[in-house]
Amino acid sequence: MTLTVLNPATEEPIAELEQAGVDEADEAVARAGAAYPAWRSVAPADRAGLLRRLATLVEENAEELAQIESRNVGKPIAGARAEVGMVAQVFHFYAGAVDKHRGHTIPVAGGVAATFREPLGVVGLIVPWNFPLNIASWKLGPALACGNTVVLKPAELTPLSALRLAELCLEAGIPEGVVGVLVGKGSVVGQRLVEHPDVAKVGFTGSTEVGRVVMQGASGTIKRVTLELGGKSANVVFADADLERAAAAAPYAVFDNAGQDCCARSRILVQRSAYDRFLELFVEATASLKVGDPANEQTEMGPLISAEHRAKVSSYVDGAPSAFRGDVPEGNGFWFPCTVLEASNDDRVAQEEVFGPVAAVIPFEDEADAIRIANDTPFGLSGSIWTRDVSRALRVTRAIEAGVLSVNANTSVRVQTPFGGFKQSGFGRELGLEALDGYSELKSVFISTEE
């Protein structure tokens, strides 16, 4: 069966690909398995060199990769370029980490105890359509650095950048079989990777709903899983904050990537005494966002990924009175307007992940109320706090049940720092040196010194 890949900004087909089924998934796992013994034995400094070469090739082909990502996801080209820049940084970072992921010696009686970090074997990497290349690199970097071989399954809607990245891996000199790409349905080839007895671990990023299926499927083989799932994060604005700065930054926090961002701060909690002023400034900043052709250098927001997804996003706002509803281009494309709703935290729009450009603005009374509302969600991925009071910033960030927080800034996602969720946003960490722990087993060895 063939798969037609669309440009969501025009609805035009941009590629026709052969879809893999269970047999092809098994073949991909077998190829990765065959490549594993040699790959895990490559000297660390040489493996680092290959990853460094891959990073350089990403830099050299950055414009092409950004164009692919922009056309396939509908991302504004400027944002796509920044994402490809991060992909190169990720490979540079893990190239540098290959020979620094160390074990310990541990004081014990009668000999020497040492720990070793061993690769897992073949790992399955399943990624979503919102940041296809970025999220693939977050998994690929540490997986390869630790000496695993991988089968990467991009989302069906956005397979193009993964295919190009696999070519660059070969060009970098990473041996055949070390990185395989499977283009096919999640429910077929994704599920097969999850259940396959020769896959040691699945690194999954996607919805909480599919995350549950992955966790269940992995239980048959006690497979290791890392789950990076959905979010419903809070942007908490205290009355003592620099309101102009907070309001100018807030549209990016919720509308970037047309809101199709697991870290989207889609609940904006504003202290009652600053509520009206903030809402006015936020709506003004939102109204000035440039929505349109992703190929245009000035564009800040493109379309949603698909007609089906647009219908889902619409279901959250249909009939609801909005404080603001933006314009969208006429004609083809899965456009959806930036929408600002005044909400209560109990509303469906404030409890479920919309994954579209919809912001729910919610008032709070005091610090305790802000923390209570921020935590009143099954998710726990991300969040921001805006205040000039450093003690409050620390109290609130420590009290919020989420894995990745920022203070007086929109984003805390950095190559060097761990990223991942609390609660139903998943478990395990990507990025930083911590990601290496998820792609290796810790082995402890005791060597007797008895004569």
The token pair at 241 is 């904050």
> Taking CB positions, which residue lies at the least distance from ligand NAP?
186
130 binds ligand NAP (CB under 6 A): yes
Judge whether 357 and 258 are in contact, CB under 8 Å.
Answer: yes
State in angstroms the smallest separation of the CB of 32 from ligand NAP: 17
The distance of closest approach from Cβ of residue 74 to ligand NAP in the complex, given in angstroms and rounded to an integer, is: 14
Minimum CB distance to ligand NAP smaller for 80 or for 281: 80
Site for ligand NAP in 207-246 (CB under 6 A): 207, 210, 213-214, 228-231
Q: Is 182 helix (H, G, I), strand (E, B) or coil?
A: coil
**Of 74, 186, 326, 380, which lies in the binding site for ligand NAP, with binding defined by CB under 6 A?**
186
The pair of structure tokens assigned to 289 is 């966002």
Least distance CB 25 / ligand NAP (angstroms) = 11
From the list 182, 220, 218, the residue with the least C-alpha distance to 31 is 182
Q: How far is the CB of 183 from ligand NAP (least distance, A)?
A: 9
Per-residue x/- track, 100-129, ligand NAP (CB under 6 A):
--------------------------xxxx
Active site residue 11: no
How many residues at the interface with ligand NAP, by CB under 6 A?
Answer: 33
d(CA 257, CA 80): 10
Give the shortest CB-388-to-ligand NAP separation in angstroms: 30
Give min distance, CB of 415 to ligand NAP, in A.
14
- Residues 321 and 335: their CA atoms lie apart, in Å, by 20
Q: Which is nearer to ligand NAP, 68 or 202 (CB)?
A: 202
- Say whether residue 275 binds ligand NAP (CB under 6 A): no
The catalytic residue among 24, 69, 195, 228 is 228
Catalytic: which of 156, 169, 195, 262? Answer: 262
CA 420, CA 431: separation in Å to the nearest integer? 9
φ/ψ region of 21 (left if φ > 0, alpha if ψ in -120 to 50, else beta) reads: beta
Q: How far apart are CA 379 and CA 402, in angstroms?
A: 8
Whose Cβ is closer to ligand NAP: residue 285's or residue 381's?
A: 381
Torsion of CA 260, 262, 265, 267, to 10 degrees: 90
The reply to whether 133 sits near ligand NAP by the rule CB under 6 A is no
The verdict on whether 262 is a catalytic residue reads: yes
Q: Is 29 in the site for ligand NAP (CB under 6 A)?
A: no
Two tokens, residue 436 = 């290496």
Nearest by Cα to 97 from 139, 48, 138, 55: 48
Give the per-residue contact string, 389-428, with ligand NAP (x = CB under 6 A; - = no). Answer: --------------------------------x---xx--
The answer to whether 54 and 168 have CB atoms below 8 angstroms apart is yes
Question: Helix, strand, or coil here: 343?
Answer: coil
Question: CB of 154 within 8 A of CB of 183?
Answer: yes
Residue 126 Cβ vs ligand NAP, minimum distance, rounded to whole Å:
5
Buried b (16+ CB within 10 A) or exposed e, 230-260: bbbbbbbbbbebebeebbebbbbbbbbbbbb
Among 83, 293, 300, 353, contact with ligand NAP (rule: CB under 6 A)? 353
72 binds ligand NAP (CB under 6 A): no
CA nearest to 57, candidates 87, 82, 35, 32: 87
Give 120 or 127: the residue with its C-beta nearer to ligand NAP: 127
- Quote the Cα angle for 323-326-329, to 5°: 165
29, 88, 150, 155: residue in contact with ligand NAP (rule CB under 6 A):
155
Q: CB-wise, 312 or 392, nearer to ligand NAP?
A: 312
Q: Is 79 in the site for ligand NAP (CB under 6 A)?
A: no
- Least distance from C-beta 204 to ligand NAP, angstroms? 7
Q: What are phi and psi of 405, to 5 degrees?
A: -125, 155
> Which single residue is written with the structure tokens 């796509």?
80
- Quickly count helices (H) and strands (E) in the chain: 15, 18
Contact stretch for ligand NAP (CB under 6 A) within 204-212, 314-322, 343-351, 370-378: 204-212
For the annotated catalytic residues, the residue numbers are 228, 262
Q: Which residues bind ligand NAP (CB under 6 A)?
A: 126-131, 135, 153, 155-156, 185-187, 190-191, 194, 205-207, 210, 213-214, 228-231, 262, 353, 355, 381, 421, 425-426
